[in-house]
Amino acid sequence: MTKEQRDILIFTAFGLVVLVTPLLLQGNYLLNVFVFIGINTMLAVALNLLLGFAGQISLGHAAFFGLGAYISGILTTRYAIDPWMAMVAAAVCVGVMAFIIGFPILKLKGHYLAMATLGFGIIMYIVFNETVAWTGGPSGMSGIPNLALGPLIFDSDMTNYYLIWVFTLLTMLLSINLANSRIGRALRAIHDSEVAARVMGVNVRLLKVQIFTVSALISALAGSFYAHTMTFIAPASFGFNFSVELVTMVIIGGLGSIYGSFLGAAILTLLPEFLRVFHDFDIVIYGLLLIVMTMFMPGGLIGGFEALAAAIKRRKEA
């Protein structure tokens, strides 16, 4: 079996499990949690393209998520624009914005890049809070319409689940394709040695900005989906803590692993549901996870599984 065939098989199996899951969970509140896992997976995959593949950190991705949500919310509630159109508009606006700020931001490296994206995130968070006339300020914005396809309105957990997961699966599939292409290789090359990538003809500067744009665009789409499924948004969901949570998801799952991003998103979304105590401890646990994973398991859970599988295989052969 070639690697490509194996990838297709794994993705098909994953997709089937995702599509069948709600049938087993009918009427269960967990279905609603799974909708959030879908949105968070989209976000984590988007961030992973930048952080895991190109090795460029962003501590401001919650801002793109928020921008998508607010642009969708404002266009639909104030200007009665069709939610799908609003979504496209949000994605285009955020994409253009990311492309423009991408050039100066991605000129920076390492710690400086982290600070700049963090600064950008906080500025946007302040804007969400202060432009009360548009966003409703800290108390949020309500009455955002649901998405609809003809007579089918996505307003229940079940319909939302399928809506979100169809797009999440699509995001994952496209990202997997990208990872195994010349663009994905060029991105990983940048991560390993920027100078060697340049000498081999990779336009490092442009490619970084491009992947930053794609990543921001997917995050904005996730934001639109979030706005239209929740119908209520407030700045608190788009702050610094959420940016860090997204980074944590990517790190836990494994840098550069698309399924890892799903795993990270699922764990960080489910844990607070199962462990009530987690509510008070969540930030401490995120902190610990970030440190411990980076120090002892830099490949994340997926990397850990792979290492384990390889070790078992070696032992069998020996």
Segment 137-156, which members bind another protein (CB under 8 A)?
none
Cα–Cα–Cα angle for 233, 94, 98, nearest 5°? 130
Q: Answer yes or no whether residue 306 interacts with another protein by CB under 8 A.
A: no
Q: Answer yes or no whether residue 201 interacts with another protein by CB under 8 A.
A: yes
Among 9-17, 67-75, 105-113, 304-312, the segment contacting another protein (CB under 8 A):
105-113
Q: Look up residue 200 and give its DSSP letter.
A: T
Q: Answer yes or no whether residue 50 interacts with another protein by CB under 8 A.
A: no
> Between residues 116 and 216, which has the closer beta carbon with respect to another protein?
116
Please tell me the number of Cα atoms within 13 Å of 317 on its side-chain side: 6
Q: Answer yes or no whether residue 111 interacts with another protein by CB under 8 A.
A: yes
Contacts of 217 (CB under 8 A, 6+ apart): 91, 94, 95, 98
Q: Answer yes or no whether residue 302 interacts with another protein by CB under 8 A.
A: no
Q: Answer yes or no whether residue 183 interacts with another protein by CB under 8 A.
A: yes
Reading the block at residue 183, the tokens are 């663009």
d(CA 236, CA 4): 42
Segment 226-265, which members bind another protein (CB under 8 A)?
240-241, 244, 247, 251
Q: Answer yes or no whether residue 59 interacts with another protein by CB under 8 A.
A: yes
d(CA 277, CA 68): 32
Among 40, 41, 48, 129, binds another protein (CB under 8 A): 129
Q: Answer yes or no whether residue 182 interacts with another protein by CB under 8 A.
A: yes
d(CA 139, CA 128): 11
Q: Answer yes or no whether residue 9 interacts with another protein by CB under 8 A.
A: no
Among 97, 99, 198, 278, binds another protein (CB under 8 A): 198
SS3 141: strand
d(CA 9, CA 136): 47
Q: Answer yes or no whether residue 297 interacts with another protein by CB under 8 A.
A: no
